Amino acid sequence: MKTPATDKIRNVAVVGHSGSGKTSIVEALLLRAGVLARPGSVEDGTTVCDHEPEEAKRQMSLGLALAPFEWKASDGATYKVNLIDTPGYGDFASDVDTALAVADLAVLVVSAVDGVEVGTETAWRKCAERKVPRLVFVSKEDKQRADFHRVLDELRSTFGPGFVPLELPLGEEEALHGVADVLTGRGLEYDGDGTHHAGELPDDVAEEEHRLHDELVEEIVSGDDEQLERYLSGDVPTAAELERTLAHEVLDCIEFPVLVGSASSGVGIDRLADFICELGPSPADRPAKVVAGPSEAPVEVDVAADPAGKPLAFVFKTVADQFVGQVSVFKVLSGQIRPDDHLLNTATGTDERLHGLFHLRGKEHMHADTVVAGDLGAVAKLAGTPTGSVLAPRDAPVRAATPQTTMTAFGLALTPRTQADDDKLSGALSKLVAEDAGLVVERNEESGQTVLHGAGDTHVAVALERMARKFGVHVDTEDIRVAYRETVVGHAEAEGKVKKQSGGHGQFAVAQLRISPREPGSGSEFVSKVVGGAIPKQYISAIEKGVEEAMAHGGIHGFPVVDVHVEVYDGKTHSVDSSDMAFRTAGAIGLREAMQQAGSAVLEPVSMITVTVPDGHQGDVLGDLNARRGRVLGTTADGEGTHEIVAHVPTAEILRYAVDLRSITGGRGAFVATHHHYEVLPDHLVERAKEHAKPVSSRVGR
């Protein structure tokens, strides 16, 4: 592809609910631009963007994909459009965040059949939080039950004002044959190849078009004082003038144009490309933000997309390619990047040489001589450059302004199937996490489990499928073991005694212990009350060590013991047969004997959970939390249609809460959970806890 001018680049994230037609629209745009000879199909797994086997299997996007093309717009200029196709399923929302971090425009795709859905709301919220300009494309207008006007009403009622329809459908459902251009008043009839020609507007559409045209003009000029003054004096702006004003209002996130069409018939696709180029901002219109200065006093700095500036690139995505290794996908924030340039990774301090540059289109690599400011490119084998890094000259050590945050709500423990899988597991997981910012790997030292966390069960399942396919590592999964504890409930005294004689030196030690419960959460303590030298001082520490080991190994029920006061008050020694090992063993025996007498209770971890739900689902969520033995601490309304519920819930009851909450709320609920405290597990649940949590043998702190 030719190296474009920065002001002729359009970086566009295609976002929306899963199944709304995003990938099909990208495919239709590539076809209309002449990149493809024939369109692929999501159902057949043959599209440019859904090229992974896991995507073909599930018939949906599971990660972002790039699809650049060149387009000669109706204004006569040639643009480079970098489409970023994103997943709509909630488990893969981290890739939507990634796309929006480098996009200058978002095309929100809404199905004319299904209207505004949960994925639509999520995508809109993410765009609004990042202040990304938006336009809306109402897709599937040729399908049964398609209703453009209903969707337009839903957009306004859900997200508020600012939606300006630039088109009306000519016909609907199977009868769709064109669009009415509200700005110019023309009817555009479409042929089978996706091209259009001007035609007469039907009477019923003409009347609505005239009304919408007047409303549209008033809406656009109201944002420009000069045009408004001219309009009020009777001077109606031309369509070209209105487009220029609308482009500024799109950039400022004041107005959101609404277009309509169909990927399968090609209606409206070329118009979508035109409006992306003519109304969408270029990278030059939206300076990137980076951080300069020391980490103790960072300063946020705007970086203009100036091709003459210092070379600066932001690595926003990493892809593990089976043939070329790690591929780093980047956006050039400033300057120009050329093959064999040397740049410093400002996060790791690694000097990186950028060997061969290329552009990605799906899985296709297209050679690039230069990647200019504002454009997206890729380079292989930057081993010291993780996602989120900034590559800069040594004299400009800036960092990424907004590091990606990962919210993980679901996890599974992994067990390698073979020794070969075990040997490769760590490396494979590292590559998975580098490729997907929404994954987190944790090694739980207490349970000995390796846990993969993601946004949901589908997210984790897809990651494991990719690990098996790409890296040949196969694992079995199980639930995360809950970290139960045990404590004593009464006072007791016991004797720990070791007496062994088998010729030569024997083993002899006697330790008298008292135990009692301590305040929950205060931890355990060991004290010596030995007087008169009944036990020499050098053996007291051995007794303490034996007590600690016994606590870590588990009490009556096999769980680590906490919150116990242990006191050694007497004992006996032998001048020849006593030793550290003997008293260490005596301490452990004494603790176990004392616990048998004092009795114990199992403690379960309790999480503090904050659930955000739409108003209509508050009652269902509260009832579900009560069924999970939760204690609701309070609820608050934000005044915007959502409630926040705060509760204490046993951790064992929310291991799969991400899946259950999605089912209860139709995907609109979200939650954050953190460990809060331990409390006594009801007796009737102790056996179940012992079945689901393997006791541990290492020392565990509270």
Of the pLDDT bands very low, low, confident and very high (cuts 50, 70, 90), residue 504 is: low
Query: In this predicted model, what pLDDT tens digit does every residue of 279-318 receive, in sequence order?
Result: 999 999 999 999 887 777 888 899 999 999 999 999 999 9
pLDDT score of 203: 85
When pLDDT is cut at 50, 70 and 90, the band that residue 694 belongs to is low
Across 103-129, b (16+ Cβ under 10 Å) vs e yields bbbbbbbbbbbbbbbbbbbbbbebbee
Q: Decide: helix, strand or coil at residue 271.
A: helix
- Phi and psi at 377, nearest 5°, equal -140, -175
Banded model confidence at residue 677, pLDDT cuts 50, 70, 90: very high
* Helix, coil or strand: residue 594: helix
Looking at 199-208, 410-419, 677-686, which range is the least confident one? 199-208
Cα–Cα distance list, 226 to 222, 236, 240, 241, 288 (Å): 9, 12, 15, 12, 30
Q: Are 133 and 250 in contact (CB under 8 A)?
A: yes
Burial 213-226 (b: 16+ CB within 10 A, else e): beebbebbbeebee
Among residues 413, 457, 640, the alpha carbon closest in space to that of 90 is found at 457
Q: What percent of the chain has pLDDT over 90?
A: 78
Separation CA 39–CA 262 (nearest Å) = 13
Query: Is 700's pLDDT higher than 50?
Result: no
In a 3-state reduction of DSSP, which class is residue 238?
Answer: coil
Residues 6 or more apart from 115 whose CB is under 8 A from it? 147, 150, 151, 154
- Segments of 209-368 assigned E as strands: 256-260, 288-292, 299-303, 312-321, 325-334, 336-337, 341-345, 351-354, 357-361, 364-367
Cα separation, 376 vs 69, whole angstroms: 12
Beta carbons of 532 and 457 less than 8 angstroms apart? no
pLDDT tens-place string over residues 435-478: 988 899 999 888 889 999 999 999 999 999 999 999 999 999 99
Residue 131, classified by CB atoms within 10 Å of its CB into exposed (0-12), middle (13-18) or buried (19+), is exposed
- pLDDT value at residue 684: 93
Which residues pair with residue 142 across a beta bridge? Answer: none
Q: Tokens 């956006």 sit at which residue?
A: 331
* Rg of the chain in Å (alpha carbons): 32
Report the alpha-carbon distance of residue 85 to residue 29 in Å, rounded. Answer: 12
Of 311, 356, 351, the closest CA to residue 331 belongs to 311
Distances (CA, A) of 231 to 161, 221, 234, 245: 22, 7, 5, 13
Beta-bridge partners for 567 = 514, 527
Q: With bands split at pLDDT 50, 70 and 90, how would you rate the model's confidence at 583?
A: very high
Q: What is the 3-state secondary structure (H, E, C) of 393-452?
A: CCCCCCEECCCCCCCCCEEEEEEECCHHHHHHHHHHHHHHHHHCCCCEEEEECCCCEEEE
pTM: 0.88
Tokens of 381: 């084998």
Q: Which residue would you say has higher pLDDT here, 584 or 500?
A: 584
**Strand 341-345 to 390-392 pairing:** antiparallel
CB–CB of 331/317 below 8 Å? no
In sequence order, which ranges of 527-579 are alpha helices (DSSP H)?
Answer: 537-553
- Identify the band that residue 695 occupies on the pLDDT scale cut at 50, 70 and 90: very low
pLDDT at site 194: 87
Which domains can be identified in the chain, with CATH numbers? Answer: 6-285 (3.40.50.300), 288-400 (2.40.30.10), 410-478 (3.30.70.870), 485-601 (3.30.230.10), 603-692 (3.30.70.240)
pLDDT at 432: 92
Q: What is the mean pLDDT of the chain?
A: 92
- Is residue 19 within 8 A of residue 8, CB to CB? The reply is no
CA–CA distance, 531 with 242 (Å, rounded to integer): 95
**Could you report the per-residue pLDDT of 163-184, keeping only the tens digit for each?**
999 999 999 999 999 999 999 9
Q: What is the pLDDT of residue 348?
A: 85
Structure tokens at 593: 């004997």
Q: How many Cα neighbours within 13 Å face the side chain of 125?
A: 12
Q: How confident is the model at residue 325 (pLDDT cuts 50, 70, 90)?
A: confident
Q: Is the pLDDT of residue 225 over 50?
A: yes
Residue 230: per-residue pLDDT = 84
Cβ distance 698 to 445 under 8 Å?
A: yes
Query: Which residue is associated with the tokens 């004299």?
Result: 395
Please say if the pLDDT value at position 80 is more than 60: yes
**Angle at CA of residue 206, ends 202 and 209, nearest 5°:** 140
- Written in H, E and C, the secondary structure of 11-73 is EEEEEECCCCCHHHHHHHHHHHCCCCCCCCCCCCCCCCCCCCHHHHHHCCCCCCEEEEEEEEC
Closest Cα to residue 571, out of 596, 549, 542, 550? 542
- Average the pLDDT over 129-151 and give the result: 97
User: How much of the chain, in percent, has pLDDT values that exceed 70?
Assistant: 97
If you average pLDDT over residues 364-391, what whole number do you get?
93
pLDDT exceeds cutoff 70 at 622? yes
Q: What SS3 state is found at 635?
A: strand
Residue 358: alpha-carbon gap to chain centroid = 27
Six token digits for residue 379: 């380079």
Summary count for the chain: helices (H), strands (E) = 16, 37
Comparing 526 with 503, the larger pLDDT belongs to 526
